[in-house]
């Protein structure tokens, strides 16, 4: 079975992706290859950050790999938090603070259209391939649900009356931005 490194140690992302590929490829994390380096996301776009991650791992370990970058874009906030989604309120990965900042910024705002966007950069046999995924939705007035991570408790995808955090992993994996990008990646790998 072919091995592929996912340039992340985010267990939530690993679970989502592992569920999508269902044993077709042996998925490895950065921990699995003993990479403890903090890969700096210095890009100004999701594409640049995804590419930084995949190139870093490929150049250092010479393993086929992919990196992703994703985030929430809110129209009323001119696309914020965007590439700063994980550290919108300052501290990286403080989901509660990030959600609080978004809700505070949208107080008294009626137009709450938003989207989750993902870009995956795959390095396969030394060549980079890019895949993306988007899901449109709305930012809710308050948190709802306990599943998922990040902004899931305040994001309601179009066509649904529940937030991502009210969906099971299986339900979210059918429609999420990362799922859409992963489908494109898997189609590419299956057609190789």
Residue 46's pLDDT is what? Answer: 96
Angle at CA of residue 144, ends 143 and 150, nearest 5° = 65
Cα first-last separation, the chain? 14
The domain of 168 spans 3-190
DSSP-assigned beta bridge partners for residue 6: 66
Give pLDDT, residue 135. Answer: 98
The verdict on whether 69 is a catalytic residue reads yes
Residue-averaged pLDDT of the chain: 92
Q: Does residue 192 carry a pLDDT above 70?
A: no
Q: What is the pLDDT of residues 91-145, one digit of tens each?
A: 888 999 999 999 999 999 999 999 999 999 999 999 999 999 999 999 999 999 9
Torsion of CA 163, 168, 174, 175, to 10 degrees: 10
| Domains held by the chain: number | 1
Return the CATH number at 65. Answer: 3.90.950.10
pLDDT at 12: 78
**Which pLDDT score, from 0 to 100, does residue 71 have?**
95
37, 69, 158, 161: the catalytic one is 69
Give the pTM.
Answer: 0.89
């Amino acid at each position: 079975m072919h091995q592929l490194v996912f340039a992340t140690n985010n267990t939530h992302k690993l679970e989502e992706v592992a569920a999508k590929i269902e044993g077709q490829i042996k998925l490895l994390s950065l921990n699995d290859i003993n990479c403890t380096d903090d890969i700096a996301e210095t890009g100004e776009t999701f594409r640049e950050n995804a590419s930084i991650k995949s190139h870093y791992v490929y150049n250092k370990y010479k393993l086929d790999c992919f990196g992703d970058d994703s985030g929430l874009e809110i129209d009323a906030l001119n696309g914020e938090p965007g590439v700063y989604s994980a550290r919108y309120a300052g501290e990286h990965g403080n989901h509660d603070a990030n959600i609080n900042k978004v809700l505070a910024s949208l107080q008294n705002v009626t137009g709450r259209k938003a989207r989750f966007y993902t870009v995956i950069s795959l390095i396969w046999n030394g060549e980079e391939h890019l895949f993306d995924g988007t899901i449109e939705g709305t930012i809710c007035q308050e948190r709802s649900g306990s599943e998922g991570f990040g902004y899931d408790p305040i994001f309601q995808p179009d066509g649904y009356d529940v937030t991502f955090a009210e969906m099971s992993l299986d339900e979210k994996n059918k429609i999420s931005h990362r799922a859409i990008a992963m489908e494109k990646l898997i189609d590419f790998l299956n057609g190789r």
